[in-house]
Chain A
Amino acid sequence: MAHPADATARAPGWAATHPSAAQMPVEVRGVIKRYGRRTVLDRVTLDVPPGITGLVGPNGAGKSTLVRAILGLVHLTEGSVRVFGLDPRRRSRMVRQMMGVVPEDECSIPGLSGVEMVRYAARLSGLPGTEALRRAHEVLDWCDAGQERYRAVETLSVGMRQKISFAAAIVHDPRMVILDEPTNGLDPIERRAMLGRLTTLARDHGKTILISTHVLPDVQSVCDRVVVLAGGRVRLAGTIRELTHPAIPEERLEGIGPIDALIGRLTARGIPARRAIPSPSELPAPPGGGTILFQSQGAEALRAVWVEAADLGVTVRSLEPAHRPLEEVFIDTLRAAAIADGESHDAAP
């Protein structure tokens, strides 16, 4: 499938003069990738805008293949990919100069020390010799690599290797960074620091970041957008807020006392309410307590909830706008995808 921008993308300065290309770092349009009879990517269409985008999906969802397609490493069966307005297959050198990649697999060149590894990555990305060494130390300092940088890569801990790998990905100051499981092997403090670095890159330096991960709390804490990929298809895409906040605003009340009676009273007053099913990550409700969700209908409704709760003797522990944990959204999406795929299989002759 030809990309609509194909004809003009090759013209000199096209990317600079076309705002859509300048603003949309990655455009994936109708990408199909088959290995023999197996379809790994099935009509994938998505955009990766500036900021941090999370790419989530179960194992075998096609995340790695999509990343390789963006890097221009695989030949697409159908569809097109544009990275900053360029075809990554035809203009691979230019595209890869603008990209930094932290692969999930531990990859290293045995025998090189951490700083040599980062310097080597810088040299391969086109930085001159002395500048490459200076820059390697600079990013390693920023990644808090310490004196460990002088040890051979193969002797480093998993967390340290992850830092080296991240430093190697950003040493040439790429416009876009793709990270596959960036917090693997990091302790909680380092994990937080790593997410902080990603945020700094995106917010302060305008980098486009694509994180492919299974760690949904990481995605929820740093990503602006999320794309859920399952069975080679995009099942859900949007901002974190869009996905985790219901379409009709709801409030979440946690209290101790006759919760069911409160639900009845609110429903009777025309305020739809229901008992919330606690997610596995939540602490269990205190004895005699529970959580309800009710539709937010303005200040009057809120006042009525307070009045009814006080009247029934419900002690309100918290009242806040309701949102669904990303994990719940993800699992629901996968379930829906499984059902849809099952139906499509059933419908197939």
Chain B
Amino acid sequence: MPLHDVGYRPWQGVRTGPASTVAVIATTGIRLAWTSRWLRRAVFFAWSPALLFAGSFFAFEQAADEGRLGALRNTARSGGDLDGVGILGSILAETLGKPGQGSVEQAGGTGPGHGGANAVDQTRRTVWSRLLLAFMRVPQAVLLAVVIGLVAPSLISRDLRAKAWLIYFTRPVGKLEYILGKMLILGLLVATITMLPALALWLMGVGVSPSIWVAVTTWDLPVRIIVASLALAVPMVLMSLAYSSVTAESRIASFAWFATWAACWIAHTTLSTADLMRADDSSGVAVAAGVDFSDFDSRMDEFLEQGPRRGGRPPGRNLRQFRWLSKAAGLDTTIDRWAWLSPYHSLGVIQSWIFGIETRWQAVFPPLLSLTLVSVVSAVVLWWRVDAPARA
């Protein structure tokens, strides 16, 4: 018997509540998940795109500070290449290059200390929103699939295999607390790779901007980031946990998760390409893949007219660049009618809506309905499955 063995002693303390149970499940789950070397690598890697976007934020603020927005506008209008300022180039080209946008016009001609600060603010707001949206849609949404795919499949299936459900459901842990705890594990990881870097980008943008008041004029962006992260996290977390709850083999859940993403993506691309092929002429109205043939023609005309030495760009390069970025940053105004088929594309539309870039109900409704359905069905499956062994 150890010297410090005091025998069995009763315990009469104050017990914590259900919220504490959720936190305990979540923190323990994160600690266990974090032991995976692959997860640590994925999370660290997931922060790397933020550096690229940080460069764009810096370049924009530098241009605004030096009063070069006007020059950039002119370059954009003349079809010049703005790639010198990174990702920002394409976004700026679109934002500043469109004639008739009052604020942009004013901002373009305004240098520091020359008034028109409101116009600069408005341009900043548009550019920042699009940069943040592009950041959350393209690198982070894909990395989210990877991170969730590394962690989620084992969260419930491992409990089923190791009969750990007995540990939970013979103690004062309800189904809801169990599910919330598991969701919180994934939610925190998703927040780590989407919300936190996006908030950090916004903070950095405020930091490199000429005035701290920029934080006030862009106060809604952090809120939109948080809401967009939640919109990203909730359906995906529920779906991945539902997969995990239907099998005791985490490999099967993992396969199902990645297969869903891949299959839906392929289905979306196939149907979108079919739409593209069906277009009668190059001025097709709704091109689902985000490549506008009218843009192609105008670029081609411009290229032929101006030639490379005057800054005209070959259309192929431009379109390749725009193919992903125009979608990501909400520059492509065509309605993606197959977006509801693919979680990635649905999430993109919803995020675009949250950032105030996509406002057309007919574009938002199908993906919104699709994600809501996925969330509801996943929640029902989860609720039914998590304590199924206890009832058997």
Contact = CB atoms under 8 A, between A and B. Distances in A.
A is bound by B:
yes
Interface of A: 68, 71, 73-75, 92-94, 96-97, 99, 101, 103, 105-112, 120-121, 123-128, 131, 135, 138-139, 141-142, 144, 146, 168, 170, 172-173, 197, 200-201, 204-205
Given A73-B169, A124-B173, A131 B13 contact: yes
Interface in B5-42: 5-18, 20-21, 24-25, 28, 32, 35
B13 to A, nearest CB: 6
A227 B336 CA distance: 68
A25 B168 CA distance: 22
B172 interface: yes
Given A73-B387, A107-B164, A120-B167, 20 more contacts: A73-B170, A96-B171, A97-B15, A101-B166, A103-B166, A103-B170, A107-B162, A107-B163, A107-B165, A109-B167, A120-B24, A121-B171, A123-B20, A124-B167, A124-B172, A128-B16, A131-B13, A138-B6, A197-B8, A205-B8
Contacts of B167: 107-109, 120-121, 124, 168
Top 6 closest pairs, chain A to chain B, by CB:
A126-B15, A107-B163, A101-B170, A173-B11, A141-B5, A123-B24
A121 B11 CA distance: 15
A131 B168 CA distance: 19
Contacts of A144: 1-2, 5
Contacts of B317: none
Contact of B391 (A73, A106, A197, A200): A73
Contacts, number: 117
Nearest to B16: A126
Interface in B281-318: none
B172 A109 contact: no
A97 B391 contact: no
A173 B162 contact: no
Contact of A141 (B6, B13, B17, B35): B6
Contacts of B2: 141, 144, 146
B173 to A, nearest CB: 5
Contacts of B21: 123-124, 126
Given A75-B391, A103-B166, A105-B163, A127 B8 contact: no
A131 B12 CA distance: 11
Interface of B: 1-2, 4-18, 20-21, 24-25, 28, 32, 35, 158-159, 162-174, 387, 390-391
Contacts of B10: 173, 205
A131 B10 CA distance: 13
A124 B22 CA distance: 9
B8 A124 contact: no
A2 to B, nearest CB: 23
A200 B174 CA distance: 31
Contacts of A201: 8
Contact of A109 (B5, B11, B32): B32
B28 A138 contact: no
A210 to B, nearest CB: 13
A74 B6 contact: no
A205 B12 CA distance: 13
A139 B2 CA distance: 12
B244 to A, nearest CB: 15
Nearest to B21: A124
B136 to A, nearest CB: 31
Nearest to B33: A111
A127 to B, nearest CB: 7
Given A112-B32, A172-B11, A105 B166 contact: yes
A97 B15 CA distance: 9
Nearest to B5: A141
Contacts of B11: 127, 131, 135, 172-173
* Residue with the highest number of chain B CB atoms closer than 10 Å, among A107, A108, A168: A107
B195 to A, nearest CB: 26
Contact of A124 (B1, B17, B171): B171
Given A106-B163, A141-B6, A173-B10, A125 B390 contact: no
Contacts of B168: 124
A249 B32 CA distance: 62
B166 A107 contact: yes
A93 B168 CA distance: 12
Contacts of A121: 167, 171
B175 to A, nearest CB: 10
* Residue with the highest number of chain B CB atoms closer than 10 Å, among A74, A173, A200, A204: A173
A75 B14 CA distance: 31
A107 B387 CA distance: 15
A93 B172 contact: yes
B180 to A, nearest CB: 13
B53 to A, nearest CB: 35
Contacts of A170: 8
A123 B31 CA distance: 15
Nearest to A137: B4
B164 A142 contact: no
A142 B8 contact: yes
B7 A127 contact: no
A170 B11 CA distance: 10
A213 B143 CA distance: 50
Contacts of B174: 92-93
B17 to A, nearest CB: 8
B172 A96 contact: yes
A201 B166 CA distance: 23
A209 B390 CA distance: 21
Nearest to B171: A124
Contacts of A139: 8
Contacts of A127: 11, 13, 15-16
B2 to A, nearest CB: 5
Nearest to B392: A35
A128 B11 CA distance: 12
A339 B370 CA distance: 60
Contacts of A107: 162-167
Given A107-B166, A108-B162, A68 B171 contact: no
Contacts of A106: 163
A124 B165 CA distance: 12
Contacts of B20: 123, 126
Nearest to A110: B162
25 contacts: A73-B391, A74-B390, A92-B174, A96-B171, A97-B172, A99-B170, A105-B163, A105-B166, A106-B163, A108-B164, A109-B159, A109-B167, A112-B32, A123-B21, A123-B24, A124-B173, A126-B16, A126-B172, A128-B14, A135-B11, A138-B9, A141-B5, A144-B5, A168-B167, A200-B7
